[in-house]
């Protein structure tokens, strides 16, 4: 296991548990206390975890959602339902742009069902899923690879987008509050805003638990999207308020086993 992978595994474990003792992490990952402390220091500097005396805890804010591997495990059934629902906004032959979110990654796995398509993305996970797929023309957005997001971001990625045009963008966000979608990271925010500017139609997928949460950077008003898809578990009062404010909200049923 590389140090980078170990850091991700430590973060994912602490985030799932809420809190973990240093001794438990030493035993679980089979490395020295010094190594664990070094990893935790780096994760704390990145804003993912908080160091305590002899332990470490997850931060209560939306910062931790930036860890891609962890995000894939959250609300997976609802994300799958949103991905299936998003297919109705895509037609064969179109150019489809998808962002680096774990929600749209669920959609990426379904895109071969409606090929032929041209797919533009900065998500390494989605690129890997679609590589070699028949009738999918894949355009990967360059830039600096960021392991936390498992995606390419930065000015190279941003600068590539004005030269492209998509029929539809399918994207997600970290949080939604007071009629605005938010993202935790400034670089990710700029890439997604550039994606929005390069698409004729914009579809936002948000699991219902993201409503009412906070994140640092404003992405766009929810009214800037042609459709906002979320789960039926969104409180009725919240749904009514959003619809009254002009948000094109669609509630999607999550299949149960």
Looking at beta carbons, which pairs linking 248-253 to residues 24 or more positions away fall under 8 Å? 248/223, 250/85, 252/78, 252/81, 252/82, 252/85, 253/81
pLDDT at residue 67, rounded to an integer = 65
Determine the Cα–Cα distance for residues 156 and 163; give it in Å rounded to an integer. 12
For CATH 1.10.10.10, the residue range(s) in the chain are: 3-60
pLDDT at residue 20, rounded to an integer = 93
Q: Tell me if residue 218 falls in helix, strand or coil.
A: strand
pLDDT at residue 15, rounded to an integer = 74
E strand spans, the chain: 19-21, 49-52, 55-58, 95-98, 117-121, 136-140, 144-146, 151-153, 166-171, 175-177, 180-183, 199-205, 217-221, 227-231, 249-252
Q: Nearest CA to 204 among 232, 175, 233, 178?
A: 175
pLDDT at residue 248, rounded to an integer = 98
Determine the Cα–Cα distance for residues 208 and 211; give it in Å rounded to an integer. 6
Q: What fold does the segment set 70-252 form as a domain?
A: Rossmann fold (3.40.50)
* Sheet of 175-177, strands arranged across: 175-177, 180-183, 217-221
pLDDT at residue 131, rounded to an integer = 94
**β-pairing verdict for 180-183 and 217-221:** antiparallel
Q: Write out the H or E segment, with its range, that includes residue 80.
A: helix 76-86
pLDDT digits (tens, 9 = 90+) for 39-90: 999 888 777 788 888 999 877 655 555 666 666 666 678 888 999 999 999 9
pTM of the model: 0.80
Q: Tell me if residue 252 falls in helix, strand or coil.
A: strand
pLDDT at residue 214, rounded to an integer = 79
For CATH 3.40.50.1360, the residue range(s) in the chain are: 70-252
In words, the CATH class of domain 3-60 is mainly alpha
Determine the Cα–Cα distance for residues 170 and 103; give it in Å rounded to an integer. 9
Q: What is the pLDDT along the chain (257 residues), one digit of tens a residue?
A: 678 778 878 887 887 787 899 999 999 999 999 999 999 998 887 777 888 889 998 776 555 556 666 666 666 788 889 999 999 999 999 999 999 998 898 899 999 999 999 999 999 999 999 999 999 999 999 899 987 788 999 999 999 999 999 999 999 998 999 999 999 889 999 999 999 999 999 999 999 989 988 788 999 999 999 999 999 999 999 999 999 999 999 999 987 54
Determine the Cα–Cα distance for residues 122 and 48; give it in Å rounded to an integer. 22
């Amino acid at each position: 296991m590389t140090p980078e992978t170990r850091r991700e595994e430590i973060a994912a474990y602490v985030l799932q548990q809420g809190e973990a003792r240093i001794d438990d992490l030493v035993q679980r990952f089979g490395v020295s206390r010094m190594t664990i402390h070094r990893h935790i220091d780096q994760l704390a500097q990145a804003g993912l975890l908080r160091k305590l005396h002899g332990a470490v805890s997850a931060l209560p804010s939306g910062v931790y959602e930036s860890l891609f591997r962890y995000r894939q495990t959250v609300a997976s059934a609802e994300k799958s339902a949103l991905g299936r629902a998003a297919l109705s906004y895509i037609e064969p032959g179109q150019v489809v742009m998808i962002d680096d979110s774990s929600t749209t990654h669920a959609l990426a796995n379904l895109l071969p069902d409606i090929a032929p398509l041209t797919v533009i993305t900065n998500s390494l996970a989605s690129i890997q899923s679609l590589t070699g797929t028949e009738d999918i023309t894949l355009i990967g957005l360059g830039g600096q690879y960021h392991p936390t997001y498992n995606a390419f971001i930065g000015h190279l990625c941003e600068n590539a987008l004005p030269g492209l045009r998509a029929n539809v963008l399918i994207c997600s966000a970290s949080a939604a509050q007071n009629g605005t979608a938010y993202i935790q990271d400034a670089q990710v925010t700029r890439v997604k805003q550039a994606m929005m500017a390069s698409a004729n139609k914009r579809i936002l997928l948000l699991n219902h638990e993201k409503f009412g949460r906070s994140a640092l950077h404003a992405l766009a008003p929810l009214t800037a999207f042609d459709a906002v898809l979320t789960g039926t578990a969104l409180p009725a009062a919240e749904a009514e308020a959003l619809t009254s404010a002009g948000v094109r909200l669609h509630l999607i049923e999550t299949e149960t086993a």
